[in-house]
Amino acid sequence: MPVLLLGTFDTKGVEYQYVRDLLQAAGVTTLTADAGVQPPVFAPDVPRERIFEAAGTTLAAVAQAGDRGRAVETAARGAAKIAAELHSQGRVDGILSLGGSAGTTISTAAMRALPFGVPKVMVSTLASGQVKQYVGVRDILMLHSVVDISGLNRISRTVLANAAYAMAGMVGSQKSEVRSQKSEVGGQGGGAGDEKPLITATMFGVTTPCVSAARAILEQQDYEVLVFHATGTGGMTMESFIADGIIQGVLDITTTELADELVGGVLSAGPERLTAAGLRGVPQVISLGALDMVNFGPRDTVPEKFRERRFYQHNPTVTLMRTTPEENDRLGKEIAHKASAARGPTAVLVPLRGVSAIDKDGQPFWWPEADQALFQSLRNWISPSVKLVELDLHINDPEFARLATDTLLEMMRSVEMRSGEMRYGERQERPGAAR
């Protein structure tokens, strides 16, 4: 399969030709796609007309409008659709692009449309600054172009050559790994047939004891656990992995990002947090980890409207603000509604003695009335289809971790039995899955 070279061939055509030739000289086949508006420097494999048609319009309409911003937005939408289509056809082994602000916007939209593991290299004039809006939750390598991508010179040739050889190495390494896995299937392990089922978990510093204990239990049961730091990006990334269909179970211990989204903290994962598992029907255990807090940066960055609230200085760069009973009432309702809409087995585990390391008797965020508002809201709004388990435990008690993992394993085993799937040869059930 080739490497997709996607970008604006009207303004960056010479540079794309240079990269294409380097890749081909290294034994890598290429597929070129033009997302420019003006005539390209060289004829691409995928013409610009097709890019704009994929976005629901025509090149002529875009050119006639003469709106550069709209043209970039449209090209990004079409490029993402074309990239996903080519990948679904098995025609993309990796993607490499070059650009300034417009080219980076267009090309990274296409990269974000591709799944995790497909090599993605973006050579950009913007790579030395804030790149969150370009990378999103995907594994995109941003390489600073150092000079503008405008002609070939001793600097640009070096950067572009490094990008081309990096891509050649990544796709070559992937092919070698696939060959190695195929040769090992049926052998002594390590091959593609021995990949462990994936479970995701969410963790914060104040819920680390719980998640660490749960991870250890799950790994003993021969599962692979992906732990995501609940920092906004972490939650969004986990949701994307679940949506991609590669996750068999979710241990969503730390749902603190919902509080930041509700109140206005800096670690929101957006309104779609806590939805992917429900939509996919993936078994999930949800808990209330760190819903006692909203996150801000240094103390002087906290909005003035919150000055009378209760705070805890986690470290010099992180200020935590205690959630109120009113906010917790809304959070409980949100979790109940999202859990109740799930298509698969869902349980909500409630730690009645506190939801974080600093939410227990004697700690700075201990506020029983606020916690009770959260718990009661869940009771009020949860559907009978959701298993609501109230435990007279703190979230970081070892027994809470054990019960959370037991609940998840039981639900996963039930799904496996109903579907009749045999994940590991002739074994009817996973060791220790039914405690």
Average pLDDT over all residues of the chain: 91
The pLDDT confidence band at residue 416, using thresholds 50, 70 and 90, is confident
User: Residue 379 phi/psi, 5° resolution?
Assistant: -60, -35
Quote the pLDDT of residue 175: 65
Instruction: Please indicate, yes or no, whether residues 113 and 219 belong to a single structural domain of this protein.
Output: no
Q: Is residue 377 within 8 Å of residue 332, measured between CB atoms?
A: yes
For residue 196, the tally of other CB atoms under 10 A from its CB is 15
Using the Cα atoms of residue 337, residue 338, residue 340 and residue 346 in order, give the sign of their dihedral.
negative
Quote the pLDDT of residue 435: 35
Judged by DSSP in three states, 248 sits in coil
Quote the pLDDT of residue 181: 47
Assess if residue 265 is contained within a domain.
yes
- The last residue of a domain, from among 179, 214, 241: 179
Instruction: Please indicate, yes or no, whether residues 165 and 246 belong to a single structural domain of this protein.
Output: no
Number of domains in the chain: 2
Distance CA 253, CA 134 (A): 29
Amino acid at 122: M
Helix boundaries (H) for 256-321: 257-263, 276-280
Instruction: Please indicate, yes or no, whether residues 165 and 270 belong to a single structural domain of this protein.
Output: no
Quote the pLDDT of residue 177: 58
How large a percentage of the chain has pLDDT more than 90?
87
- The last residue of a domain, from among 134, 154, 179: 179
Label residues 207-235 b or e (16+ Cβ within 10 Å = b).
bebbbebbbebbeebebebebbbbbbbbb
- The last residue of a domain, from among 146, 179, 212: 179
DSSP letters spanning 364-425: TT--HHHHHHHHHHHHHH--TTSEEEEESS-TTSHHHHHHHHHHHHHHHHHHHHHHT--SST
Instruction: Please indicate, yes or no, whether residues 334 and 302 belong to a single structural domain of this protein.
Output: yes
pLDDT at position 434 over 50: no
Assess if residue 339 is contained within a domain.
yes
Assess if residue 435 is contained within a domain.
no
Please name the residues in contact with 305: beta carbons below 8 A apart, sequence gap of 6 or more. Answer: none
Distance CA 346, CA 277 (A): 9
Instruction: Please indicate, yes or no, whether residues 51 and 157 belong to a single structural domain of this protein.
Output: yes
Which run of H or E residues covers position 52? helix 48-54
Assess if residue 352 is contained within a domain.
yes
Q: What is the DSSP letter of 111?
A: H
Assess if residue 354 is contained within a domain.
yes
Instruction: Please indicate, yes or no, whether residues 61 and 207 belong to a single structural domain of this protein.
Output: no
The string of pLDDT tens digits covering residues 338-347 is: 999 999 999 9
pLDDT at position 183 over 80: no
Burial class (CB in 10 A: 0-12, 13-18, 19+), 1: middle
Q: Is residue 42 within 8 Å of residue 8, measured between CB atoms?
A: no
pLDDT at position 154 over 60: yes
The string of pLDDT tens digits covering residues 256-281 is: 999 999 999 999 999 999 999 999 99
Q: Is residue 417 within 8 Å of residue 379, measured between CB atoms?
A: no
Tokens read off for 418:
């109903």
Instruction: Please indicate, yes or no, whether residues 248 and 123 belong to a single structural domain of this protein.
Output: no
Distance CA 227, CA 234 (A): 9
Quote the pLDDT of residue 184: 42
Please compute the mean of the pLDDT values over residues 129-152 and round it to a whole number: 93
The string of pLDDT tens digits covering residues 386-398 is: 999 999 999 999 9
Instruction: Please indicate, yes or no, whether residues 145 and 212 belong to a single structural domain of this protein.
Output: no
Instruction: Please indicate, yes or no, whether residues 133 and 229 belong to a single structural domain of this protein.
Output: no
In the numeric block, the tokens 């009432």 are attached to 329
The string of pLDDT tens digits covering residues 208-225 is: 999 999 999 999 999 999
Assess if residue 233 is contained within a domain.
yes
pLDDT at position 428 over 70: no
Quote the pLDDT of residue 20: 98
Range of the domain at 164: 3-179
Instruction: Please indicate, yes or no, whether residues 352 and 236 belong to a single structural domain of this protein.
Output: yes
For residue 189, the tally of other CB atoms under 10 A from its CB is 7
Assess if residue 200 is contained within a domain.
yes
Check which CATH number belongs to the domain holding 414 and give it: 3.40.50.12030
Amino acid at 128: S
Please compute the mean of the pLDDT values over residues 399-404 and round it to a whole number: 98
**Complete edge-to-edge strand list for the sheet that includes strand 293-296:** 293-296, 318-322, 311-315
Instruction: Please indicate, yes or no, whether residues 230 and 140 belong to a single structural domain of this protein.
Output: no
Residue of 248, 186, 199 whose CA lies nearest to 425 = 186
Q: What is the DSSP letter of 24?
A: H
Judged by DSSP in three states, 154 sits in helix
Assess if residue 118 is contained within a domain.
yes
For residue 165, the tally of other CB atoms under 10 A from its CB is 14
pLDDT at position 429 over 80: no
Predicted TM-score of the model (pTM)? 0.78
Check which CATH number belongs to the domain holding 127 and give it: 3.40.50.12020
The string of pLDDT tens digits covering residues 287-334 is: 999 999 999 999 999 999 999 999 999 988 999 999 999 999 999 999
Judged by DSSP in three states, 359 sits in strand
Quote the pLDDT of residue 301: 94
pLDDT at position 190 over 80: no
Quote the pLDDT of residue 176: 60
The string of pLDDT tens digits covering residues 27-36 is: 999 999 999 9
The string of pLDDT tens digits covering residues 71-123 is: 999 999 999 999 999 999 999 999 999 999 999 999 999 999 999 999 999 99
Q: How far apart are the first and last CA of the chain?
A: 46
pLDDT at position 433 over 80: no
Amino acid at 310: R
Instruction: Please indicate, yes or no, whether residues 153 and 226 belong to a single structural domain of this protein.
Output: no
Helix boundaries (H) for 192-269: 208-220, 233-243, 257-263
Please compute the mean of the pLDDT values over residues 242-247 and round it to a whole number: 93
Quote the pLDDT of residue 289: 98
How large a percentage of the chain has pLDDT more than 70?
91
Residue of 313, 287, 317, 290 whose CA lies nearest to 389 = 287
